[in-house]
Amino acid sequence: DAMVIQNPRYQVTQFGKPVTLSCSQTLNHNVMYWYQQKSSQAPKLLFHYYDKDFNNEADTPDNFQSRRPNTSFCFLDIRSPGLGDAAMYLCATSRVRATNEKLFFGSGTQLSVL
Amino acid sequence: QQPVQSPQAVILREGEDAVINCSSSKALYSVHWYRQKHGEAPVFLMILLKGGEQKGHEKISASFNEKKQQSSLYLTASQLSYSGTYFCGTRYNDYKLSFGAGTTVTVRA
């Protein structure tokens, strides 16, 4: 089945130690999003790629970076994780950017920072 | 801009009904509804576009009141499987999907 896959499911890192989360998709969608979801809160958009075009949200800290080497893969890099970055990170895709497009989510990566 | 969801939480017995509201202060182009179970990814339920249409997914339906800039999700004859957190996502005149804070639904036997 076509899907959005995130690895790993759980990630533990140390304070200040760089960490990379990965997302892959078999849907051949043009758009890939990264959302941060803290406990009991709504998912918050960090940035997205439309094809190779990177779009950062204004309030996303510089500590968060992303790479999309090809259509199928997208990575979230946290350069120096702080305790406040512990959260569920959700990758999502959509075919195009349009008001009637739904998002397909991966199962998420739960990040813990020690 | 984040939509406002209410109530924050609701507890139901199997077979009971509930309504979850999602409202915005800005003109909406579309409203999405997702359900998320604990520790899992949000799952798409339905999307409503401008025009006040009503849609359904099993015994879950939703409406979009364009005049009020509000959408309501109706859980009818709730089942245990309906438990989870329901998020509305709103789109304005662009592609960004902003989520409300969520409504936690607990259905008890």
- Fold type of domain B4-108: Immunoglobulin-like (2.60.40)
Of the pLDDT bands very low, low, confident and very high (cuts 50, 70, 90), residue A74 is very high
Label the pairing between strands A87-94 and A4-7: unpaired
> Domain map of chain B by residue range?
4-108
Spell out the domain ranges in chain A. 4-107
- Work out the mean pLDDT of chain B and round it to a whole number: 89
State how far residue B79 is from chain A, nearest Cα, in angstroms.
Answer: 23
- Say if residue B43's pLDDT is above 80: yes
Residues of B in contact with A102 (CB under 8 A): 32, 44, 47
Is the pLDDT score of B67 beyond 70? yes
Q: Which residues contact A53 (CB under 8 A, 6 or more apart)?
A: none
Query: What is the average pLDDT across B74-80?
Result: 94
Please state, as a whole number, how many other Cβ atoms lie within 10 Å of the Cβ of residue B109.
Answer: 5
Please give the structure tokens belonging to residue A113.
């920072």
Domain A4-107 of CATH type 2.60.40.10 = yes
Q: What is the pLDDT of residue A53?
A: 95
Dihedral angle, C-alpha B91, A64, A104, B37, nearest 10 °: -100
Cα distance between residue A47 and residue B84, in whole Å: 26
B96 vs B56, residue with greater confidence: B96
pLDDT value of residue A2: 61
Q: Which of A7-21, A92-106, B18-32, B52-66 has the lowest mean pLDDT?
A: B52-66
Assess whether pLDDT exceeds 80 at residue B106: yes
Query: Which residues does chain A have within 8 Å of residue B51's beta carbon, measured at their own beta carbons?
Result: none
Q: Give the mean model confidence (pLDDT) for residues B19-29.
A: 91
Would you say residue A93 has pLDDT above 70?
yes
